[in-house]
């Protein structure tokens, strides 16, 4: 049984590597959807295969918490409690942000993060990590009100205290090499600005369909110099965008600036627009690159 399961896992891994290697222009929306369904099915299939083995598949858990007054969902891998009790090395951590008109539940309810993470863990394609999903831009009554609330610089200004409370409460690392930040749309905006405002404190940055504006607030005033300082330490700087996304041109302008300044980054362009099938695709590609 174990030998058969090893061959089965190898076939799945080979398929995953094949899909990730495809040129984005060859990947249709239907293919992305089928690939995502495949990832979700892996956990169920492997659970059935391993039901009689000593190391059966176990899923991670999501708990609710409040850090610095901000509601959060926190993904904990299934070995979290045992590693805490044994005082083992702290887990790496990903701070994962949602977009406008979303909340702390978006990545688990719409992005299916738990299923993706558990499946990739079972395929041994990612490291165990804690994922903290804050409500980084609470919803308002209108687009303009939410936009204005999200771009005051308050989130960037308060993020060091937010991280400090998270690190005091959870068994997570404070080392830049074990710390990642990512987000979609307005969450990409926050991840973008937090990461350069705290240059050198994140080894991994993921910007998914990011809103790359530079509003008039002190936290954004020295963006260019801070990004140069940030990327001088050579973090993984991953940008994903759909060719039909309404933020596409802003991302291309930013890419031109990065290249003009000889700053390294990783770019992935998919088909489609500003939607969850793309963001599920991006997080599935981004997670295996961490730590």
Angstrom distance (rounded) from CA 50 to CA 32: 27
CATH of the domain at 102: 3.40.50.1820
> How many domains are there within the chain?
1
Task: Please check whether residue 133 lies inside any domain of the structure.
Answer: yes
Task: Please check whether residue 35 lies inside any domain of the structure.
Answer: no
* Cβ neighbours around 168 below 10 Å, total: 10
Domain that holds residue 186: 59-289
Task: Please check whether residue 47 lies inside any domain of the structure.
Answer: no
Task: Please check whether residue 31 lies inside any domain of the structure.
Answer: no
* Beta-bridge mates of residue 66: 71
Q: What is the pLDDT along the chain (291 residues), one digit of tens a residue?
A: 445 444 444 455 555 545 555 555 555 656 655 665 665 555 455 544 543 343 445 789 999 999 999 999 999 999 898 888 777 899 999 999 999 999 999 999 999 999 999 999 989 999 999 999 999 987 777 778 888 888 999 999 999 999 999 999 999 999 999 999 999 999 999 999 999 999 999 999 999 999 999 888 888 989 999 999 999 999 999 999 999 999 999 999 999 999 999 999 999 999 999 999 999 999 999 999 999
Angstrom distance (rounded) from CA 131 to CA 149: 24
Length of the chain in terms of residues written: 291
Task: Please check whether residue 148 lies inside any domain of the structure.
Answer: yes
Task: Please check whether residue 42 lies inside any domain of the structure.
Answer: no
Residue 266: Cβ-neighbour burial (10 angstroms; 0-12, 13-18, 19+):
middle
Across the chain, how many H-helices and E-strands are there?
11, 8
Q: What is the pTM of this model?
A: 0.83
Closest CA to 1 of 58, 59, 48, 39: 48
DSSP label at residue 217: S
């Amino acid at each position: 049984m174990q030998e058969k399961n090893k061959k089965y896992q190898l076939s799945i891994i080979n398929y995953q590597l094949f899909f990730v290697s495809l040129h984005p222009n060859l990947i249709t929306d239907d293919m992305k959807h089928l690939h995502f369904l495949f990832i979700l099915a892996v956990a169920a299939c492997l659970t059935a295969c391993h039901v009689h083995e000593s190391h059966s598949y176990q899923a991670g858990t999501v708990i609710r918490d409040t850090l610095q007054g901000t509601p959060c969902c926190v993904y904990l891998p299934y070995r979290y409690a045992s590693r805490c009790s044994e005082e083992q090395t702290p887990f790496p951590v990903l701070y994962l942000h949602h977009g406008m008109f979303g909340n702390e539940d978006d990545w688990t309810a719409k992005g299916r993060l738990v299923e993706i993470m558990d499946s990739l863990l079972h395929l041994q394609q990612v490291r165990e990590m804690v994922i903290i999903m804050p409500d980084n831009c609470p919803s308002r009554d209108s687009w303009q009100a939410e936009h204005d609330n999200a771009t005051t610089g308050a989130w960037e200004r308060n993020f060091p205290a937010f991280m400090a409370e998270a690190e005091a409460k959870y068994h997570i690392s404070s080392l830049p090499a074990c710390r990642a930040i990512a987000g979609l749309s307005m969450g990409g905006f926050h991840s973008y600005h937090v990461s350069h405002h705290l240059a050198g404190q994140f080894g991994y940055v993921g910007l998914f369909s990011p809103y790359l504006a530079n509003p008039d607030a002190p936290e954004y005033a020295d963006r260019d110099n801070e990004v140069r300082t940030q990327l001088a330490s050579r973090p993984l700087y991953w940008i994903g965008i759909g060719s039909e996304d309404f933020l596409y041109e802003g991302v291309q302008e930013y890419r031109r600036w990065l290249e003009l300044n000889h700053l390294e980054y990783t770019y992935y362009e998919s088909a489609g627009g500003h939607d969850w099938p793309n963001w599920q695709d991006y997080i599935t590609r981004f997670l295996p690159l961490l730590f």
